[in-house]
Chains A and B, each alone.
Chain A
Amino acid sequence: MFGTLLDLQWKQTRRSPAYQKSLVVKIILGFFIIYFALIFIALGFFSHKILAEVYPDQSPVVSFNSFLLFYFLIDLVSRFMLQDLPVLAIQPFLHLPVKRNKLVHFVLLRSIPSVFNLLMLLVFVPFMLRAVVPAHGIGIALVWLASLLLLTFINNFILIYFKRQLTSNPKITLLLALVVGGLMLLDYWQVLSLRQVSLVAFGALLQQPWLILVPLLGLVGVYLLNYRFLMQHLYPEEIFIKRVATVEGSDMAFLNRFGDTGKLIALELKLIWRHKRPKSMVMISAFLLFYGLIFYTNKVYLEGWGMLIFVGIFVTGAPMFNYGQFVPAWQSAHYDALLTRPITTYQYVRAKYLMFVPSILLVTVLTLPYALFGTKVLLINLASCVFNIGVNSIVVLYFAALNKERLDLSNGSAFNWQGVGASKFVMMLPMVLTPIAIFLPFSLMDIPQWGIFALALTGAVGILFHRQLLGMMAKRLEDRKYTLAAGFRQH
């Protein structure tokens, strides 16, 4: 029976529209996956050296252990934000002669092979091989690794249990994040050192391997908790069906000032607020604000220009790129409605533009503190802001006309490749390469400041002619509207 269920699950994945992508997309995705996998493996491979440098007075294994409890707490918080409940495709079996407990076990075990559970193995395994095995021998090392895996699974099942009860309550997530942040502060002030606890706990495990029974029992406990809950609630309306959401959000009357375009914007803001996918995309965009820290803290990048321009473009444009890549597919479910109502394509395009601009301005203001890393960073970010408003917003709209895949808004956006086509990757190229290309000649002439100025100037020209440019983009969207509408109608 389990085999049959697995086989069906596999077919479901294979035959889902998200999986049937063009070869190009598969290759690009494969490339990204390998790239990130290599980063993680490298991290695992070299972390004992890094740890030995940062904490010279204790062994890397001890340092590593001391961070583990925090790691699992952070893992739990990020799961609350990013991980979705596993898709419960067992509804079609409920009326068939299949034992209920089998179905429940299937649902639960099905949640284990996921990115969230297995990603960290890429770090843990190399670290184990390089540091734990030499120090404690292969047997103990394997026990150590197994207990880390067990803890990961415990997190997995805790998340599933809570999400199933509360759906996704942002307040709980926030509370959890605050608790973890608080614990970190306490640790920093040395009031209550969780790192010490972690160090002792995992140290004990290395000395007395039978302690692995503790996480094992914990896992059995949460598993049974989930199992009992599901067994008692195996009715479609209790666990499968989305709960009917209560209505939230208001009229956003201030947008009425902008006439019909304002109404379109209000409509779209409601779309973002009332669907899971765009909402989680906004959250991810907020995280991307910190992207700059990776580069600004590194002297090599801070002395050059090129990388900073890339970061500036990326950081100030993140929400626009994230959201804009799926314009107009966000509205794929009711695109026909927009086409048959008295809304001109120009108004439609303008509404998008008027959403992009404030988002860029807002992010630019939020990233002003990066000026602490030098006025150069500030100037580059301001120039990038102008360039994003003037040029990249138009590029986004240009590529929008290629989005003819219907978008499913009901799932979160982390690791969600539904509706991602090759054009998404292609569109990143002009947006990042053009600014570098504008900057390059000035850099070669050794007047990089002028290059930044040229960047801003190009953006300003784009802003000056935004009506004409938007008109052209509207024309383009209009020309392709039958293709788009036909694509959106396909489920």
Chain B
Amino acid sequence: MNMMIEVRDLVKAYSDATVVNIPALHVAPGETIGLVGNNGAGKTTLFRMLLDLVRPTDGVVTSKGIPVAHTDAWKYYTGSHLDEGFLIDYLTPEEYFKFIGDLHGLSTGDVLERLQPFTDLFNGEILQQRKYIRDFSKGNQKKVGIAAAALSHPELLILDEPFANLDPSSQIRLKNLLRSLHEQHGMTMLISSHDLSHVIEVCKRIVILEKGKIVQDMQTTEDTLQALEAYFTV
């Protein structure tokens, strides 16, 4: 079986520092992986390389056996939201969802139906606001981005700190939403977060990144939270 993501000898070095150095990382279809690590650990850079937004200094990333660099095939089954740069902020959320839906051949009805599970998360503040995305708060922008990433029911979902900027209720709703998306569609997920308890609840496998290297790679168990807290306690 092809791996959803396979990383081999991946290195990203800027003139003075190596920010990512991962000899191997395999993500099987249907896995949910939580990526944790302090600021500067290289999480976002790793995600950008998975999405072919940054050219690796060395090594390859393959998705379903095909290198992601300069190919388009993975874009059809990968949904992602890293930061505001992924939003087309002069559109209204509806226009944006429609645009993304169109790219994946979804009708307006499909889009509405797929946004249904997001009703709670949106909390009545996203749709029918007659506002451009750029005028929304950071938290609401994040909700738009996550919904757009999941809209096509991608096989692979990549989210960078989805819980940041969200209020506590929204965090809990998002957690449940991600779990149900995984259960219903078998989505493979790669999620980075600073919130250890949330990420453990959503992900069955935790990868700790430190200074660009994978220092631990473990399956989530009852003791994982303790282990993580112990690890991050200075």
A344 touches B135 (CB 8 A): no
B88 contacts chain A at the CB level, 8 A cutoff: yes
CA distance A337 to B92 in the complex (A): 15
What are the residues of chain B within 8 A of A275 when measuring CB–CB?
Answer: 90
A485 contacts chain B at the CB level, 8 A cutoff: yes
A336 touches B76 (CB 8 A): no
Interface string of A190-213 (1 = CB under 8 A from B): 000000000000000000000000
A337 touches B54 (CB 8 A): no
B99 touches A263 (CB 8 A): yes
CA distance A270 to B94 in the complex (A): 14
Interface string of A334-353 (1 = CB under 8 A from B): 11110111111000000000
A-B contact count (CB 8 A): 73
B102 touches A263 (CB 8 A): yes
Once A245-B132, A340-B80 are accepted as A-B contacts, the answer to whether A334 and B72 lie under 8 Å apart by CB is no
What are the residues of chain B within 8 A of A337 when measuring CB–CB?
Answer: 85-88
CA distance A220 to B78 in the complex (A): 63
What are the residues of chain B within 8 A of A245 when measuring CB–CB?
Answer: 132, 135
What are the residues of chain B within 8 A of A172 when measuring CB–CB?
Answer: none
What are the residues of chain A within 8 A of B89 when measuring CB–CB?
Answer: 333-334
B100 contacts chain A at the CB level, 8 A cutoff: yes
Once A336-B82, A340-B75, A340-B80 are accepted as A-B contacts, the answer to whether A486 and B54 lie under 8 Å apart by CB is yes
Within 8 A of A (CB), among B90-106: 90-92, 95, 99-100, 102-104
CA distance A274 to B87 in the complex (A): 15
Q: How far is the CB of A171 from chain B (nearest CB, A)?
A: 21
Q: How far is the CB of A405 from chain B (nearest CB, A)?
A: 15
What are the residues of chain A within 8 A of B75 when measuring CB–CB?
Answer: 340-343
Q: How far is the CB of A58 from chain B (nearest CB, A)?
A: 54
B53 contacts chain A at the CB level, 8 A cutoff: yes
Once A247-B131, A263-B103 are accepted as A-B contacts, the answer to whether A342 and B76 lie under 8 Å apart by CB is yes
CA distance A2 to B76 in the complex (A): 57
B52 contacts chain A at the CB level, 8 A cutoff: yes
Residues of A within 8 A of B (CB): 244-247, 260, 263, 267, 270-271, 274-275, 333-337, 339-344, 478, 482, 485-486, 488-489
Contacts beyond the supplied A267-B91, A343-B103, A478-B70: 4 A-B pairs with Cβ under 8 Å: A263-B102, A333-B85, A336-B86, A488-B85
